[in-house]
Amino acid sequence: MKLTFAIILIGCLHVSANVHSQSKVTLNIQSSDIKKVLAAIEKKTSFRFLYSSGLLASQPKVTITAKDEDVLSVVNRLLVNTLLSYEVLNNNLVVLKKENTIIQQATVSGRITNEAGEPLASVSIRVKGSNAGTSTDAEGRYSLTVPDNAVLVISSVSYLTQEVTVNGRTEINIVLRASNTQLEQVVVIGYGTAQKRDLAGSIAKVSGKEVADKPNTNPIASLQGKVAGVSIVNTGLPGQEPDIRIRGTVSRTQTKPLYVVDGLFNDNINFVNPADIESVEILKDPSSLAIFGVRGANGVIIVTTKKGRTGQLTVNLNSSIGIKKITDKVKMTDAAGFKTLYDEQRRNQGNVPFGFYDRYNGNANWQDLIANKNAIMWNNNVSMSMGTEKNKFYFGVGYIKEQGLIKHENLDKILLTVNDEVRVSKGIKLGFNLNGYRATPPATSDFISAINATPIVTPYNAERKMYNRLPDEIGGPQVANPLMLVDEKRNTDLQREYRVIGSVNADINFLRDFNFKATYYMDLGFNNQRRYTPQIKVYSADLDKESFQNQYQTTRVFQKENTFSKFQQEYLLSYKKKFGNHNLTAMGGFTTYFSSYQETNGSVSQKPNGTPIPRDKRFWYLDNFFGDPDSKISGISEGNDLFDNPKPLQWETATVSGLFRLLYNYDGKYIFNASFRRDGSSEMASTNRSQNFVAFGVAWDMTREKFMSRQTIFDHVKLKGSWGILGNQFTEIHYPFYPQLISGSSAVFGDNVVAALTPSYIADRDLKWESVNSIEGGFEIATLKNRLRVEAVYYNKTSKNVLTNYPGISGTKPGITNAGEIRNKGIEASATWIDRTPGGIGYSISGNITTLNNRVLKIYQQGFEIITNSSKVTAGMPIGYFFGYEVEGVYQSYADKMSSPNASFLGEYGPGDLKYRDIAGPKGPDGKLTGPDGKIDDNDRVMIGNPTPDFIYGFSLSADYKGFDVGIDVQGVYGNEIFRSWGNGNTYAVFNYREDRLNRWNGPGTSNWEPQVNDNRVINKQNSTYMIEDGSYLRIRNVNIGYNVPVKRNGKSAIVKSLRVYVNAQNLKTFKKSSGFSPEFGGSAIEFGVDRGSYPLPAIFSFGFNATF
């Protein structure tokens, strides 16, 4: 808190010093008009002058010299030989008038909204004939002191400018009408901005207010269902990044888009405070993405943070608090149901009844026991903005606290944003951005142990003052007591993340049409972790003894520190010119990017038969006096790579790039865009280190044609299309052309046997980056006086040169090469209706839908497959599809068995077991599978599910009336399948049963879907449609109700400019058919849509307020 106060104090001193420095002026003007002298004072100070043009027309020229003189003193000397005087109003507005004229002042306030009644932020309200003015706050409110006969000019990007005469009024509310289909909207693109009318691609822009008041620590999570073409899979884990796929899965290695935050390339936005976001742009089409070269294939999300605005000091305070609820619990059997099924299972397997029920009389609902009921999510932010024509400053600080759905999970984040822009002269601007981030992430956990654990165990043994262990025969060796793990491991994983992100830039305009901008960026991360493994003693009732829980027999400490750095620099030269009806904007640039990572880690265990390492964080270091020096291990890799080599703990990469973009239009009707980038990367061999990426886009604005001038149906019609080649630089291993060396056969040199090192895999020396050939074509339409807007595009993306690793065959080494193609195609469509009723109710209705069609066209050699558990990658099929047997039902009798295809390939089977469909026999001479052959074997395994939906969709409703507003967001997916990997009885250990298992087969005609409970029947453990569930769902994503509290001003500028209070319900209800916590599951590029018991997506009920001072 002291740090926050200090930063705010510094910011206030910055404002104070800035204002003081602008109360004096230095001039040396010879024989000039008074109007020009006043303009010079305006450029150098915060003073603004208001006068009628006729007032100065007859005044003589003046000569004036001043050095660090008070502005009003200069004005007095300037008017000494005239019959003019002046009056100073608020905010340094100086009104010139004839002598003895009385100026009546009026403090005007009000609210600026769009046609739907939604408040508009950053709208400019300027006094006509001067530079005096202000801008609206986040709720569209403003306040300004002006002469009572002044004319206000209200303007905003994407809206028609209006002029309003004050006429003594103190409250003026304005409804701005959108310009033609928002063609004037400025969107952020790669390395700059552009008006949407000048672009041929598909760029979606989302206002920062869409994410500011939503209870999500990651701002992108709030966009789920809001943008066509963007699939977002959220998770309930605190602070977890969602799984994002833009227009499908384009690679087998990565799906994550590139993030660009205020120009800096990044792979995450954990450091961005949602309250500090001005806008989010999602770039999807080739003409927008090719400029990003090897990082553009998965799409780009551009985040622009808030900047200082011209006007008086504005302070914004917003806070919200929410409560989380688990709405869809997994239905498992209770103690009675478990005993029924387990007893039956033992009978079916020929075992004697379980003999220890007398010692296990519990009825534990483990999900409830470990759940953090009424978990809190708290978000607090304060920001400060001020500016003049010469200096614009913004400061924001936020604190986020989020509790997880499991006890003792806590995420704390402190976020800092500071930026400043100084106009040194008319053509030169200097600026800097700074983001700070400190977080204490929780240890990751899930509910799978709570799902698997038998309910017959009482969690805690009060008599022995320790937790009870699960029975040996019922999962004891595999599943620890879930409540014990949650309680005993609380606060034993101490993690800290620190991050500083900054940039400095210089922006120079010269020769009227040229601009040069140089920017230097950095992103520095410092993270540490200390994890303690306690010694946990448990009581086993079946064995009647106390013992240490498996994996918790000795105390251990793991310690890790890592740092990462990212440095980016760019030099951009732009040229913008209009030649008659020809409009041209060209940009060329040079940029470099460097990133590195270094990690040091190690672990130590207590000494054999020695004193345990204390449960005191003071001793959770590698050197703790209790550890066994012989047990120390360092350089522990987090896992193995594609070729089973330990992943490196240090690496660095660099790219060097040249780029060019051209935006051209003729008379606003015919639009042409082109972009080019050449990337050189250290991660590829020198022969293919550099690669070119190019794109072209064209568009035709039909409504500007003469033949459209007489029609009244369409306000705007635009046809557009683009083509381009995009790149994907991500690989699962760094420097894939340099294989790691591993121990191989030895060699004998004389009397010495020398170990030989050999490459761990064969690298194709001609390796190159993956490329994506992308095309799109579509239209934009606005009609019914711009109230209805529709946009639709067809897209087709084919990934080529997909990096593929293949296994070694017959003793040969595995390898990696470019050998694959993946195609994604579909249609995106969105529509919005905005209107206001005669009764003053503003409302809007919007919706979007995206179809997804994914197909692997080629992968390595014919017949080659990549199998990851239940998922498979095969040519001709969707990526990551589920494969297995199709279930026809359950064998009801031995007669049923004998009349069905022979399934002995899968082991012993009979009545009560799953019956699979006979689909195919062995391959024929042509290499294709033959028809059914009366046997069930590997040839009968087929695609049983596709994790990629047929389409995703979302729609929103909003309305406002007299200060009240309400909004509802709904989103969903359709046509995908989920693979349920829990509760299937295929684990070779006894876990709890799904409640559906109570409907199992236990005699002819009792069930034709749920098989008998019998762990000895391998046939029921096979991947099959028995484990497939419908992944389609419809979710009420957000319900928001707000009220703008009227603020009394009493004719003066009130301290509180605006106040809004609101309530929000997120994930209110999900309509689904799956049995897990949630119907949505992310994952890797080749294995996703798998339900592993995972983590619930909670409903969050929150209340908040937003106040501007």
Distance CA 58, CA 34 (A): 10
- Within-domain flag for 291: yes
Buried b (16+ CB within 10 A) or exposed e, 584-599: bbebbbebebbbebeb
217/299 same-domain check:
yes
| Predicted confidence (pLDDT) at residue 304 exceeds the cutoff of 60 | yes
Is the domain of 193 the same as that of 249?
Answer: yes
Query: Is the per-residue pLDDT at 1049 higher than 70?
Result: no
Does residue 307 share a domain with residue 235?
yes
Question: Per the domain annotation, does 591 fall within a domain?
Answer: no
Domain edge (last residue) among 177, 192, 219: 177
Strand partners, 395: 384, 418
Supply the pLDDT for residue 385.
92
Residues 80 and 173 in one domain: no
Query: Is the residue at 238 inside a domain?
Result: yes
Q: Give the count of domains, the chain.
A: 4
Where residue 171 sits, what CATH number does that domain have? Answer: 2.60.40.1120
Q: Are 310 and 392 in contact (CB under 8 A)?
A: yes
Convert the pLDDT of each residue in 526-567 to its tens digit: 999 999 999 999 999 999 999 999 999 999 999 999 999 999
Residue 34 belongs to a domain: yes
Here the tokens at position 646 are 């330990």
Q: What is the pLDDT of residue 56?
A: 80
Number of H helices, E strands in the chain: 11, 63
Q: How many CB atoms lie under 10 A from the CB of residue 170? A: 15
Among candidate residues 59, 77, 98, the one where a domain is terminated: 98
Residue-range definition of the domain harbouring residue 934: 886-940
Q: Which residue has better confidence, 751 or 232? A: 232
For residue 75, CA distances in Å to 40, 91, 101, 133, 898 come to: 12, 17, 17, 21, 108
pLDDT of residue 157: 67
Domain-located, residue 861: no
What confidence category does residue 721 fall into, taking pLDDT thresholds of 50, 70 and 90?
A: very high
Q: Which residues of 855-886 are buried (b: 16+ CB within 10 A; e: fewer)?
A: bbebbbeeebebeeebbbbbbebbbbbbbbbb
Q: Across residues 201-229, what is the average pLDDT? A: 91
pLDDT of residue 392: 92
> Is residue 9, in this structure, part of any structural domain at all?
yes
* Domain finish residue from 177, 197, 219: 177
Q: Do 39 and 53 belong to one domain?
A: yes
On whether both 165 and 239 belong to a single domain, the answer is no
Tell me the residue length of the chain: 1109
Task: Kindly state whether residues 192 and 304 are assigned to the same domain.
Answer: yes
Q: What is the C-alpha separation between 459 and 360, in angstroms, rounded?
A: 10
Which pTM value belongs to this model?
Answer: 0.87
627 within a domain of the structure (yes/no): no
Do 201 and 257 reside in the same domain of the chain?
A: yes
Query: Is 210 in the same domain as 173?
Result: no
Is residue 196 domain-shared with residue 255, that is, in the same domain? yes
Q: Quick one: what percent of the chain has pLDDT higher than 70?
A: 95
Q: What CATH number did the domain enclosing 53 receive?
A: 3.55.50.30
Residue 817 lies in a domain: no
187: CATH: 2.170.130.10
CA distance linking residue 512 with residue 489, whole number of Å: 65
Largest CA distance in the chain: 119
Residue 1043 and residue 964 in contact, taking contact as beta carbons nearer than 8 Å: yes
**What is the percent of the chain with per-residue pLDDT over 90, rounded to a whole number?**
68
User: Is residue 809's pLDDT more than 80?
Assistant: no
Residues 83 and 121 in one domain: no
DSSP 20-69: HHTSEEEEEEEEE-HHHHHHHHHHHSS-EEE--HHHHHTPPPEEEEEEEE
The residue-averaged pLDDT of 457-477 equals 96
Amino acid at 420: D
| 303 shares its domain with 190 | yes
Structure tokens at 468: 């009870």
- Residue 494 CA: distances (Å) to CA of 84, 143, 371, 556, 614: 71, 49, 21, 14, 15
The residue to which tokens 């969709």 are assigned: 953
The contacts of residue 764 (CB under 8 Å, 6+ apart) are 737, 815, 816, 817, 818
Q: How many CB atoms sit inside 10 A of residue 1003's CB?
A: 11
Neighbours of 962 (CB within 10 A): 11
Kindly tell me if the per-residue pLDDT of 116 is higher than 70: no
- pLDDT confidence tier of residue 884, bands split at 50, 70 and 90: very high
Residue 814, number of CB atoms within 10 A of its CB: 16
